[in-house]
Every structure is written in structure tokens, then in C-alpha cells.
Amino acid sequence: MQATRKRAAVISAVISAVCFWSASLPATTRPLYVRLGGEPVMTAVVSDTIDQVVADPRLNQSFKGSNIARIKRLIVEQICDLAGGGCHYSGDSMHEVHANHNITQAQFFGLVEILRSSMRRHHVPLRERNELLALLAPMAPDVIDVRAPPIPR
Ligand code: HEM
């Protein structure tokens, strides 16, 4: 009994030390996915974002008949993959998925803006918000339909 309690105390001390150590690591040595808040925060951020996009008449034309739960799950998985969270994105390529939906540049930036404010609401720090957006930005050419009109200036 005494030995078990002692072992539990040692294990708890080791876990606390590891947690303290990982929390105090500089931002750059912790994977972005961890700094974004991991799965609970990203699931909430993506869910809020897609709910808002689907409710917005300026953005939702291409979502009619889509499986929203699948889209949310795959975007979280994709972010986890891109941000070093150890996942493997199992969805279709960005080009395949978005081709023929006539998505405009304005709609792409509209979604990004909603994602940005959703991250802010869920207390994702500025640096991490920007790092994630920098990973998503190169997808623009695969999402935007070149035949759709560009943003009016
Ligand atoms: C960086 C921006 C974006 C990312 C990372 C992204 C990511 C994804 C992912 C992972 C899927 C699911 C793939 C699959 O089913 O295998 C998806 C589906 C979809 N996305 Fe995006 N997306 C982005 C921007 C947009 C924008 C701007 C729109 C429209 C305003 C859009 C409309 C859709 C639609 C309609 C589907 C479902 C297609 C279907 O069911 O055939 N996406 N997206």
C-alpha cells in the first residue's frame, strides 16, 4: 500500500514536471497544432467557421447538398496534418474538391476572414493565427475558380 502510494506520487511528480517543461518550451519548439490549442480548440474553431459560412448567402452557394459534418472533420484533420499535429489528411485534393464550384477570390477571403475571427473568439494567439493562415494561403489557387470574377477594386 505504502509502495503503491509512493509510486503514484513519483509518477504524478514526473507528469507535473513534464507538463511544466512543455508549457515553458519556446513557441517554436512546440508544434503549431499544440500552440493552436489542439483538437478541442480546432474542432470548435472549424465548426463555428463552417456554420457561419453555410449561413452566409454571399458564401454558401457551393455548399448545397454537401456533407457538412464530413467537411468539418476533414478540415480539422487537414489543419492537424499541416500544423504538425501528427494526423494524416485523408480527404480528396483541394483542386478535386473545389473544382466546378465557381468559388470566387472574394469568397475565399470571406471564409478566411470568418476563420480569423473564430480563432480570435477561441483565444488563439495572434502569432499562431498568422502561422495557420500562412499555411492555408497557398491553397487559394486550388480553391478559387479562375473563371470566377476577381475582387472588384
Ligand atoms: C483555405 C481554404 C479552404 C480549405 C482548407 C478547405 C478545405 C476543404 C476540405 C478539407 C474539404 C473536404 C474534402 C473532402 O470532402 O474530401 C472541403 C470541401 C468543400 N469546400 Fe472547402 N476549403 C477551403 C475554402 C473553401 C471556400 C472558400 C469555399 C466556398 C466558399 C469552399 C467550399 C467547399 C465545398 C462546397 C466543399 C464540399 C464539396 C463537395 O461536397 O463536393 N471551401 N474544403
- In a domain? residue 148: no
- In a domain? residue 153: no
Are 86 and 134 members of one domain?
A: yes
Instruction: Find out whether 54 and 63 touch, Cβ atoms under 8 Å.
Output: yes
Q: What pLDDT tens digit does each residue of the chain (153 aa) get? A: 455 455 545 544 544 444 454 555 666 689 999 999 999 999 999 999 999 999 999 999 999 999 999 999 999 999 999 999 999 999 999 999 999 899 999 999 999 999 999 999 999 999 999 999 999 999 999 999 877 665 555
DSSP annotation of 58: T
Are 26 and 39 members of one domain?
A: no
Are 24 and 47 members of one domain?
A: no
Q: Is the CB of 116 under 6 A from ligand 1?
A: no
Instruction: Find out whether 129 and 120 touch, Cβ atoms under 8 Å.
Output: yes
Are 65 and 2 members of one domain?
A: no
Q: Which three cell numbers stand for residue 66?
A: 454537401
Are 26 and 38 members of one domain?
A: no
Q: Is the CB of 92 under 6 A from ligand 1?
A: yes
* CATH value at residue 121: 1.10.490.10
Confidence (pLDDT) at 94? 97
Q: pTM here?
A: 0.84
Question: Ligand 1 centre from 117 Cα, in Å?
Answer: 18
Are 25 and 64 members of one domain?
A: no
Instruction: Find out whether 101 and 62 touch, Cβ atoms under 8 Å.
Output: yes
Confidence (pLDDT) at 146? 74
The Cα–Cα gap between 15 and 82 comes to 28
Buried (b) or exposed (e) across 102-131, using 16+ Cβ within 10 A?
A: ebbbbbbebbeebbbebbeeeebeeebbeb
- In a domain? residue 99: yes
Domain count, the chain: 2
Q: Is the CB of 87 under 6 A from ligand 1?
A: no
Confidence (pLDDT) at 4? 46
Are 72 and 138 members of one domain?
A: yes
Are 130 and 57 members of one domain?
A: yes
Closest CA to 93 of 139, 136, 127: 139
DSSP annotation of 78: H
- In a domain? residue 11: yes
- In a domain? residue 106: yes
Confidence (pLDDT) at 133? 98
Q: Is the CB of 54 under 6 A from ligand 1?
A: no
Atom of ligand 1 nearest to the CA of 108: 27
The Cα–Cα gap between 104 and 87 comes to 29
Q: Is the CB of 107 under 6 A from ligand 1?
A: yes
Domain membership of residue 13 as a residue range: 1-30
Question: Ligand 1 centre from 74 Cα, in Å?
Answer: 9
Closest CA to 76 of 42, 34, 52: 42
